[in-house]
Amino acid sequence: MRLQRRRIGFRAFAYLFTFVVIVYVAVFMNTPYIVYQPGSATEVAPMIEVEGGDQEEQGTFMMTTVSASYANVALLIASVFNAHSEVVLKETRLQDKTEQEYAAEQVFYMSSSQSNAVEAAYQAADVPYEDVVDYLYVISVADAGNQSKFQPGDKIISVSGQKIPDPEALAELLSSSKVGDEVEIVLQRAGKEVKEQVTLVEVQDSNDPAVRPGLGVVIGAVQRVEPKEAGKTVSFVDTNVGGPSAGLMFTMEIYNRLTPGDLTKGHRVAGTGTINAEGTVGSIGGVKHKIVAADRKEAEIFFVPVKNYDEAKAKADEIGTDMKLVPVSTLDDALKYMEELPVRP
């Protein structure tokens, strides 16, 4: 009887151990893959504030996203049964970056996209403006840099007690020091102020063979676009997404607020595409997933960069959507289409 109990106990332990291993492998064990799926189609109006802007809007402009998940085994298995999923190797997305560096880079691209959207909308609405550097942003930390002092995503508030207006000013400030000197850096990290004593290291620009003292980080300047007219300031709330592909839809919403009337004409309008200050619309990745996301939110119109049109059209035909695909290469193309569109009854 005692031997039988031992066997039952051992069997129960073996079952439990096997269950724990299966759960670990399926849920917690990393794989070298990323699964892309349709993300969301989200109204951009709540993300943007335009001082004194025209609030009339019967329809909506929507940005579209792609869901990208670092895959566990369970997700890989589930993706086999999902017609809209796509499995790719991590390295095709990250290349030589860490996950933290990639995420920080995407936040930087989103910030730049927002600045470009404001510039393009101001130009289209004939609002005079000027560009100023808002802050310097740490995109990555070099292997030979100060990895214990900086993290991707840090904002540089001051160096040696001085606020730094742009990367050129930072280089000029550090030029009076030498490699090995220490400087005090004030950073903003996850909403909190952090002070670090940073030892200057050797840095060299790709277009300049001269070695100079630096922080050992890759930085980007985040621009702030300020109107020269009072009552035209544009600001953004946290969008919780990264990348530059919402630029066109941000611009459409800002322009709609800056000008009289309702550009949406009561329609549900989705889209994607990068934007620059001159209003040129650039291609993006993952358009087939964004088509599905927009269709699920019952978008009637989808603005797509010209270079992405064929892929978008193929996916639209595959899912049998009634959504109208409109290829655009400039902001003017999109504005003209909306201005000629009849008001929805």
**Long-range contacts for 25-28 (Cβ within 8 Å, ≥24 apart)?**
25/73, 26/72, 26/73, 26/74, 26/77, 27/72, 27/73, 27/74, 28/72
Question: Pick from 288, 281, 273, 340: which is nearest to 319 by CA?
Answer: 288
**Whether residue 290 lies in the annotated active site:** yes
Q: Catalytic residue among 149, 232, 245, 265, which?
A: 245
Query: CA 15 to CA 169: how far, in whole Å?
Result: 64
Query: CA 275 to CA 278: how far, in whole Å?
Result: 8
64, β-bridge pairs: 41
Residues contacting 107, CB < 8 A, separation 6+ = 137, 153, 242
Burial (0-12, 13-18, 19+ Cβ within 10 Å), 142: middle
Q: Catalytic residue among 155, 288, 290, 315, which?
A: 290
Question: Pick from 274, 207, 212: which is nearest to 244 by CA?
Answer: 274
Query: CA 121 to CA 50: how far, in whole Å?
Result: 11
For residue 149, how many other CB atoms are within 10 A of its CB?
Answer: 18
Letter for the amino acid at 330? Answer: T
Helix (H), strand (E) at residue 244: none
Question: Pick from 274, 266, 272: which is nearest to 292 by CA?
Answer: 272
Query: CA 110 to CA 272: how far, in whole Å?
Result: 13
Query: CA 133 to CA 112: how far, in whole Å?
Result: 11
Which residues are tagged catalytic? 245, 290
